[in-house]
Structure 1
Amino acid sequence: MDDFPPSGPGFPGEGGLLATEAPGDNAPAMTVSDLSMRLKRTVEDAFGFVRVRGEISGWKRAASGHCYLCLKDDKSVIDGVLWKANAGALQFRPEDGVEVIVTGKLTTFPGRSRYQIVIERMELAGQGALMALLDKRRRALAAEGLFDAARKQRLPFAPRVIGVVTSPTGAVIRDILHRLEDRCPTHVIVWPVQVQGETAAGQIAAAVRGFDALRPGGPVPRPDLVIVARGGGSIEDLWAFNEEEVVRAVAACSIPIISAVGHETDTTLCDFAADIRAPTPTAAAEIAVPVRVELVAQLREIGQRIGRCAMRAAERSAEKLETCLRHFPARDQLLAPQQQRLDELSDRLPRALGTRLGHARGDLGRAAGALRPSLLAATVRRSRERLDGLWRVAQLAHPNRPLERGYARVEDRGGKTLISAAAARDAGRLRLVFADGEVEAAVGDEPPPVLSAPPPERPRREARRPGKAPEQPTFL
């Protein structure tokens, strides 16, 4: 027997093998899509407007601009979606762990058979939640070192150009300009921004980065100091100065920044990131520049002090000089030995000159005897005779002198005198030098070449005429 129970038309309360629908059946089968759509309409009709309080979890922003999250409490979780248009209107940046109150409607997502809340408005669940978000963000940014004292820059003593990031229509900018004019007139550049609202944070951060991007020497002067200012208000009004992009822009700015947001009791994260915090915008102007009148008075006082110091130094130097002069002897006492020596030399000088002149006259008299004309002529005559004797010896020793007695000098073609037969045979061709010319010759049977012209006669020294001395330079 089969273990399956009987089924069919005769067994209406049991499931059959095939689904059947009897005529007049009031529960016809529907599709999954039909059921999902009926659930969607039912949920949206019943929960068309709801306000839900819960803690954000799993917050993320898609590339499309839509935001997805979960709202949870200690027992339950519900999915949520925030469309792009509504996400841009948020007054704060949602984070995980922040308790919020959302307003919207419930709907279902048929693709997942899940219900979710479509959020139209999101607010922090009271000031406590806002402060909790602020404290959490402060701790996170502090952990990155954005508030460290080592990052702080010193303010310039007297900035020439001051940049102000604030609203151009509020009382803040008028207070700053008026205070600067009273203390020390300075060139001010205002970067107008919104200081409250959903776009305020982006404009403030862009203004700080814009001032930092200016370069010296450009058409717009680069500020030496930047003031970020806003008047007082609630924590919600000042929230733009707590946004992370503003804090990071202020911390990264290379220009010193004074944060003057709110009144003295108001504190924002911008104050922690700035180089110095001013309790009010007016106080920021006082911190930014010194008082010109006070500077002039200080300079005048310093000038007077310098003058007094110089006078005292001169007086002390004069006293020291006078004291030193007392220990020095008088001028006449210092120069007396030198004056006495000068007088003594003045007396000795004429006598010394007379003695020297007498000696010079004696020397001249002794030398004058040796300078008589007869002695000089005899000396010259003896020198000339000696020179003539030397000239005659030189003529006798001249190599061409033997040629006049019939001798010949044998030379090679290069003009070298040959003194042996072996040298003549080695030379082959010879030149025979006679007193009246030269003849070419050859060693052996080869006939000598015929000369085309007689060789030039060598110049001969003219014989000295009798009774006439040769023209020789004198040695005197």
Structure 2
Amino acid sequence: MSDLFDDDEPGAGGNAPTLSISDLSRAVKRQIEDGFGHVRVRGEVGRVSRPRSGHVYLDLKDDKAVLASVMWKGTAQKLRTQPEEGMEVIATGRLTTFPGQSRYQLVIESLAPAGVGALMAMLEKRRAALAAEGLFDPERKRAIPFLPRVIGVVTSPSGAVIRDILHRLRDRFPREVLVWPVAVQGERCAPEVAAAIRGFDALPPDGPVPRPDLLIVARGGGSLEDLWGFNEEEVVRAAADCSIPLISAVGHETDTTLIDFAADRRAPTPTAAAEMAVPVRAELHADLARLDERRLAAMARLLRERRERLRGAARGLPRPQALLSERAQRLDMAGQRLPLALSRMADRKRLRLGERAAALDPSRLRAHLAEPRAKLRTLSLGRALSRRIEKARDRLGSTRLRPQDLSTRIRDGRARLDAQVQRIERDAARLLPERRRALDLASGRFAPLASAMLADRRRGLTALSRTLETLSYTRTLERGYAVVHRDGLVKRAAQVSPGDALQIEFADGRVDVTAGGDAPSRPKPKRKSPPPDAQGSLF
């Protein structure tokens, strides 16, 4: 076995120098980098890894081999199209080795899709993935407002697109326009467009900056690579999440981007987007004029129909004179009967008043109050006690008993009588204040009632006296008339003979006169003594 490890034994290549692993790796690295310092390869992107460092590790492959590749952070940030698995690309860089794993790899300095077909394939793959999430469903689409108050436009402020939109809006229906400037091409396109859509959507309704009622994302035509920013996932998701209705106007009619599927409406051109946003004011004025003409014609037709109906109904109504004539006649008749009815009613009321006045005579009231007052005077506790004692004595005297029983009954009777007297005295002492209070209360209530009744009777008597005074003949005397008396009231001249002693009553007194002249002779009427309370009257 010692022969196996004999270093002095010569062999093939025995004169070659012995190298370390590191020296050999460096030698291989130099050889490969010198021989392949600049290469350009075409292949399909396989596995893609993006660690937190920002570098991108990927595999480039074809049907027979796999080439490990790496892009440093600076290069990856500058790429216009990020590599995705299955994408065919053309990579430019330098070949080197990684001694830590004994492998060679391509350090990519630039990466581009291998033609339009590769971009279209990647675009179709991304569209299918986003559609599977439901971002393109018709149920998510919102209706465009008929006449938005504020329109937000996401586009480049220096291009012709914004001028075309503003010009078209001014021609159709001028509206307030807010422009959010963005880059519409290149690396900054996708993040700026997504930020603009989300920024418009985040504006408060009552904030200092008015919140748009409609958004337009617009860009002019270009190649697929120029429009690629509107195919990025962040732009599509921002458009799908926006709560403001959005019109996509990217490119020309033949250009299609993924934002077109996520937007609520797609316009073939930016000018067409402005036409979709607002109606034509002149057409609205014309429509309003036509509607106003129709309204006036309908009102005129309605008025004619109602006028004809009113005339037809009026022909069926009776004349006002016929309706009022009967009621007017009844009113006239009632007016003629009214004075007589009022007179009769006044007579009835006057008669009833006289009856009530007779019933309310003060003398009757005094007589009515005298009886309760006498009962109150005669009511006395001592008399009641005396009567009860007398009755008890009478009952005792009428009872015939033996002397012993009589004395016993007398004692018992006296005891009961004394107890009864004490009970009566207690009851009297208890009831007397109550009865006095009740009597005082009744007297207190009686006095106002009596005063009120007397006042009412007094007022009635005064009214009757006024009526009597009004109807008395003395009022007539005060007006210049006189009354002739001769053993009574003289009513006719035939009752007076020459030489008769007469009394003429005036308003202020009587005058004795003697009748003279040639009066016709007549038989003297039988004289009647007038009643003491007789009173003459002219009526």
User: Smaller-chain TM-score range?
Assistant: 0.7 to 0.9
1:389 aligns with 2:378: no
Shift of 1:13: 3.1
Instruction: Quickly say closer, same or farther: Cα 1:30–1:296, change in 2 above 3 A.
Output: same
* Residue 286 (str. 1) matches residue 275 (str. 2): yes
Deviation string for 1:378-436 (max 9, x for gaps)? x467457646633541367589999xxxxxxxxxxxxxxxx957999xxxxx9xx9xxx
Q: Work out whether 1:112 is the aligned partner of 2:101.
A: yes
Equivalent position SS for 2:96: strand
* 2:398 match: none
User: Which residue is 1:405 aligned to?
Assistant: none
TM-aligned CA distance change 1:352 to 1:261, over 3 Å: same
- How has the CA–CA distance of structure 1 residues 75 and 395 changed in structure 2, closer, same or farther, with 3 Å as cutoff? same
| Alpha-carbon distance between aligned partners in 2 of 1:177 and 1:383, rounded to the nearest angstrom | 112
SS at match of 1:88: helix
Query: Structure 2: how far apart are the matches of 1:364 and 1:220?
Result: 92
After TM superposition, give the deviation of residue 341 of structure 1 in Å: 3.3
One-letter code aligned to 1:210: G
Q: Give the alignment partner of residue 63 of structure 2, picking from 65, 70, 74.
A: 74
Q: 1:110 to 1:319 in 2, by over 3 A?
A: same
User: Residues 332 and 229 from structure 1, CA distance in 2 versus in 1: closer, same or farther, beyond 3 angstroms?
Assistant: same
| Aligned AA (2:58) | L
Three-state SS of the structure 2 residue aligned to 1:302 is helix
Distance 1:363 1:198 in 2: 119
Is the CA contact (8 Å cut-off) linking 1:395 and 1:401 kept in structure 2?
no
- 2:136 & 2:370 partners in 1: Cα distance? 120
- 2:29 corresponds, among 18, 36, 40, to 40
CA RMSD of aligned residues (A): 3.2
Deviates more, 1:338-347 or 1:211-220: 338-347
Match of 1:13 in 2: 11
**Cα deviations across residues 104-128 of structure 1 (Å, max 9, x unaligned)?**
1111110000111110111111111
Instruction: Report the counterpart of residue 158 of structure 2 in structure 1.
Output: 169
Who is 1:206 aligned against? Answer: 195
Indicate the residue corresponding to 1:452 in structure 2: none
Give me the TM-score of the superposition, normalised by structure 2: 0.68
| CA–CA separation in structure 2 for the residues paired with 1:392 and 1:180 | 116
Note the alpha carbon deviations across 1:174-223, whole angstroms, 9 max, x for none. 11111111111111111111111112111111111111111122222111
- Residues 1:87 and 2:87 are matched in the alignment: no
3-state DSSP of counterpart to 1:48: coil
The match for 2:319 is: 330
Distance apart, 1:157 and its partner CA: 1.3
Shift of 1:292: 2.0
Q: Percent identity?
A: 56
Report the Cα distance in structure 1 between the residues aligned to 2:350 and 2:233, rounded to whole angstroms: 116
The structure richer in helix per residue is 2
Deviation of 1:335 (Å)? 3.5
Q: 1:420 to 1:298 in 2, by over 3 A?
A: farther
Identify the residue that residue 271 of structure 1 maps to in structure 2.
260
Q: Specify the SS of the correspondent of 2:237.
A: helix
Aligned residue among 192, 210, 221 for 2:210: 221
CA distance in structure 2 between the partners assigned to 1:257 and 1:151 by the alignment: 12
State which of 311, 333, 338 in structure 2 corresponds to 1:349: 338
CA shift, 1:315, in A, is: 2.0
The whole-number CA distance in structure 2 between the counterparts of 1:203 and 1:400 is 125
Query: Match for residue 313 of structure 1?
Result: 302
The 1:76–1:363 alpha-carbon spacing in structure 2 relative to 1, beyond 3 Å, is closer
For residues 174-213 of structure 1, the aligned pairs below 5 Å read 174-213=163-202
- Secondary structure of 1:346's partner? helix
Is the Cα contact below 8 Å between 1:161 and 1:189 reproduced in 2? yes
* AA matched with 2:150: V
1:250 Cα offset (Å): 0.8
Contact 1:166–1:191 (8 Å) recurs in 2:
yes
SS of alignment partner, residue 52 of structure 2: coil
> What is the alpha-carbon distance in structure 2 between the residues aligned to residue 110 and residue 89 of structure 1?
28
With the length of structure 1 as denominator, give the TM-score of the two structures: 0.76
**CA separation of 1:380/1:331 partners in 2, compared to 1, >3 Å: closer, same or farther?**
closer
Q: Distance in 1 between matches of 2:367 and 2:295?
A: 96
Aligned residues: 400
Distance 1:221 1:383, change over 3 A: closer
Distance across 2 between alignment mates of 1:376 and 1:132: 130
Counterpart residue number, 2:293: 304
Unmatched 5+ stretches in structure 2:
388-416, 430-449, 455-539
**Pairwise CA distance, 1:97:** 0.5
| 2:122 corresponds to 1:137 | no
Query: 1:322 offset after TM fit, Å?
Result: 1.5
Partner in structure 2 of residue 440 of structure 1: none
